[in-house]
Amino acid sequence: MKIIDCVPHELLDAVNVFSKELEWARRIPVYEVHKWWARRYSGIVRLFLAFTELDSELLKSVSDFSSFVRNLYFNPPKVKNKKLLDPFAGGGTILVEGSILGYECVGIDINKLPCLLLNSLKVLPYMDFKKFEQNIKTIADYLLDRLWRTRCLKGHNAYIIHTFLVWKNGKGEHQIRSNKIKDGKLKFYFCEKCGNTYASEAEQTRCTFCGNEFNKSKRYDKLEYCELSPYAIEYYCSTCCERNIKKTTEEDLDNFWRNTTCNLLNIPKLSETDRLLKVGIRDFSQLLTPRQLLTFEIFLNHFNTEPGKTLAKVLVSDALRSCSILAYYSEKYAKVIPAFVIKSYWLPPQPVELNPLAYRFLNGRVLPLGRGNIISAFRKLRRARNFIIQYKIELRYKILHGPAQDILPQIDETFDVIFTDPPYVNYQYYSDLSLFNLSLIKEVNEQTLTELLRKELTLRHKKDLMNYKKGLIETFCPAVDRLSNNGKLLVTFHHPDLKMLYTFLEVFKKLPIRLQAIYPVIGESSGKLIERKIYLDLLFVFGKQQRDIHYSFTTYTLTKYDKLLQSSIPTLIEFYKE
């Protein structure tokens, strides 16, 4: 017997606690390069892969489970001549962890974005990285000079970091929700009445110039989101060596309103995008300023050979969530908060334009200015590269782009492990969330979008449940066909509506495979930014042999839904056996 067949609850608890701590203690550089929604905890993945390898006898001598787990994580078993498949690869946690253990991995994803990301990670250690870095610097300097110049308060040449924008109402009036542009020891204020921008150490309740009241929660008319207007700029002046805020001048306004003809994809009406359509945004290019669109376009065109071309796309796509005008200045966090931090498209009270290339030199090093621009995306890429080289990680995976249900029947291989994390019903809409990125890097058009939406596994409405189930069967049937006789299929799933769990299990009841174990494990690693209903996943273990179904509980439950999910395990097993 392997450990995976009989994980005791002490071990399960230790795994959950360790995986959670690991993620927050040291963000693992390979997983930081580009956000993908619904990433699994890498610790869970690595440890459970190890459990499929190791003999359960080993547990007999264990008294301290947390040191056991820690040691196992840092010295996982070396796997040789075994193959692993993940038909819903996404951000690739399973493929990367599988590679670290030594599996030869194959991953499939219908979405081009994670495929680009995973291919980029693979080439990092072998490419001419210095040349790539030089290329970025050249194009960044060119674009900064051409599009992002301003004058500091003393009149020197300076670069824009942020431009603070407001939406206007139908009458063309500025709709200010908060007059404070920036918090901190020195606070910056903008008065929409007299147009002044000024700094003050003390909190201001009214404008020092015209007496206009700075009410914290200003009410405003219904917004017309298409009308944008810049009013203040945060810049960096290398002569004064400082960041500062100033009011926009005529010259700044001319620079802001650049002409571009770049139109991106028309926004389709989907679960997450509907909100944009409702306020009159029709095309994804409206989520960027003209100057940002030009910057991205020229930047991408600068790279016309591989691997630079793909890497540049990944960098731009990563920077996009901070650069989109859905980023806003948050008084609570005293910084500009990028869009899609959590998951959805929504309209912030006051948008901010971030210069995608703002950086400065400090002791010969390139430092990004502002959060999450292309320069910081590049630094994340460099960190991932150093990590891969330092730990001699061989990323032995092959990525296939397309619908798993179409690709799997064409694969002529047998796998020892299939470990996957399919879309969990009406929760994360991957295409909705990635279309803006895909359209900017020219990886989607009307035709490929139709195909993506037709074949993507997702459940937007209850009435599509049959389709979702059909998709699962169409994928897992050929997948199970490719599983070796002693192979294991590991699938994670959760849902606040327990009925969905039964629907999910029903699919597997029909397949030539037997349920062998269920473990509640800590689920999605995208942090505690929002209160989520569920933090746990159920990890289902299947194999070809019939045996008693083993399960363990964990004390690591966080919400009442986690408890509910966990306590449903015995009834789920009864249901499965029926």
Ligand X SMILES: C[S@@+](CC[C@H](N)C(=O)[O-])C[C@H]1O[C@@H](n2cnc3c(N)ncnc32)[C@H](O)[C@@H]1O
Contacts to Zn ion by CB under 5 A:
152, 154, 156, 191, 193-194, 207, 209-210, 212, 237, 239-240
Q: Which of 173/451 has CB closer to Zn ion? A: 173
What is the 3-class SS of 110-169, one letter each residue?
CCHHHHHHHHHHHHHHHCCHHHHHHHHHHHHHHHHHHHCEEECCCCCEEEEEEEEEEEEC
| Residue 437 binding target from ligand X, Zn ion, none, CB below 5 to 8 Å by type | none
Residue of the chain from 161, 404, 472, 518 that contacts ligand X (CB under 6 A): 404
- Tell the burial category of 492 from Cβ atoms under 10 Å away from its Cβ (0-12, 13-18, 19+): buried
- 479 alpha-carbon distance from chain centroid: 26
What character string, x for contact with ligand X (CB under 6 A) and - otherwise, covers 456-485? Answer: xx----------------------------
In this chain, which of 13, 23, 97, 109 binds ligand X, going by CB under 6 A?
A: 109
- Residue number, 230 or 523, with CB nearest to ligand X: 523
Binding test (CB under 6 A) with ligand X, winner from 107, 349, 403, 520: 403
110 binds ligand X (CB under 6 A): yes
Phi and psi torsions of 226, nearest 5°: -75, -25
DSSP summary character for residue 227? E
Residue with structure tokens 């040789």? Answer: 80
| 111 contact, one of Zn ion, ligand X, none, CB 5-8 Å limit per kind | ligand X
Answer with the entry of Zn ion, ligand X, none that 368 interacts with (C-beta below 5 to 8 A by kind): none
The tokens describing 197, both together, are 């921008």
477 vs 561: CA distance, rounded Å? 30
Listed ranges 145-153, 207-215, 451-459, 510-518: which one lies at the site for ligand X (CB under 6 A) = 451-459
Residues from 47 through 106 that contact ligand X (CB under 6 A): 87-88, 90-94
* Piece of 194-202, 218-226, 262-270, 398-406 that binds ligand X (CB under 6 A): 398-406
User: Least distance (Å) from ligand X to the CB of residue 524?
Assistant: 8
Is residue 230 involved in binding ligand X (CB under 6 A)? no
Work out the burial of residue 204: count CB atoms within 10 Å of its CB; fewer than 13 is exposed, 13-18 middle, 19 or more buried: middle
Token pair 């009445």 is found at: 193
DSSP 246-275: EE--HHHHHHHS-------PBPP--TTTHH
Range 314-353, binding ligand X (CB under 6 A):
none
Chosen from ligand X, Zn ion, none, partner binding at 421 (C-beta under 5 to 8 Å by type): ligand X
Q: Which is nearer to ligand X, 39 or 246 (CB)?
A: 39
Of 455, 470, 509, 563, the residue at the interface with ligand X (CB under 6 A) is 455
By beta-carbon proximity to ligand X, the closer residue of 353 and 474 is 474
Choose one: 108-116, 313-321, 338-346, 388-396; the region binding ligand X (CB under 6 A): 108-116
Distance between CA 114 and CA 294 in Å, rounded? 25
Site for ligand X contains 388 (CB under 6 A): no
**Under rule CB under 6 A, how many of the chain's residues touch ligand X?**
26
Partner that binds at residue 430, options Zn ion, ligand X, none, CB closer than 5 to 8 Å by kind: ligand X
Distance CA 491, CA 540 (A): 5
Maximum alpha-carbon separation in the chain: 80
Least Å from the CB of residue 456 to ligand X: 4
Return the number of the residue (110 or 158) whose C-beta is nearest ligand X: 110
Contact between 539 and 519 under an 8 Å Cβ cutoff? The reply is yes
39 binds ligand X (CB under 6 A): yes
CA distance 293 to 59: 57
Question: Between the CA of residue 240 and those of 114, 243, 260, 322, what are the distances in Å?
Answer: 42, 9, 33, 27
Q: What is the separation of C-alpha 278 from the centre of its chain, rounded to a whole number of angstroms?
A: 25
Binding partner at 258 among ligand X, Zn ion, none, C-beta below 5 to 8 Å by kind: none
**Of 30 and 336, which CB lies nearer to ligand X in the complex structure?**
30
Helix count and strand count (H, E) for the chain: 18, 20
Helix (H, G, I), strand (E, B) or coil at 310: helix
C-beta of 8 vs 409, nearer to ligand X = 409
Considering only CA atoms, which of 23, 31, 27 is closest in space to residue 91? 31
Q: Which is nearer to ligand X, 252 or 318 (CB)?
A: 318
Of residues 166 and 480, the one with the C-beta less far from ligand X: 480
Q: Is 421 in the site for ligand X (CB under 6 A)?
A: yes
Least CB distance to Zn ion at residue 140 (A)? 20
Which CB sits closer to Zn ion, 150 or 434?
A: 150
CA separation (Å) from 317 to 114, 116, 445? 11, 10, 16
Given Zn ion, ligand X, none, residue 404, with its beta carbon under 5 to 8 Å by kind, binds ligand X
Whichever of 38 and 449 has its CB closer to ligand X, that residue is 38
**45 touches 53 (CB < 8 A):** no
- Chosen residue from 29, 98, 114, 368 binding ligand X by CB under 6 A: 114
* Secondary structure of residue 387 in the 3-state scheme: helix
Of residues 89 and 191, the one with the C-beta less far from Zn ion: 191
β-sheet bridge partners, residue 415 = 483
- The verdict on 543 binding ligand X (CB under 6 A) reads no
Distance between CA atoms of residues 93 and 30, nearest Å? 9
Q: 88 is in the binding site of which of ligand X, Zn ion, none (Cβ under 5 to 8 A by kind)? A: ligand X
Nearer to ligand X, 36 or 51 (CB): 36
Residue 561 half-sphere exposure toward CB, CA atoms < 13 A: 15
Query: Residue 509 class from Cβ within 10 Å (0-12 exposed, 13-18 middle, 19+ buried)?
Result: middle
CB of 376 to ligand X, least distance (A): 21
The residues of the shown chain that bind ligand X, judged by CB under 6 A, are 36, 38-40, 87-88, 90-94, 108-111, 114, 403-405, 421-423, 430, 455-457
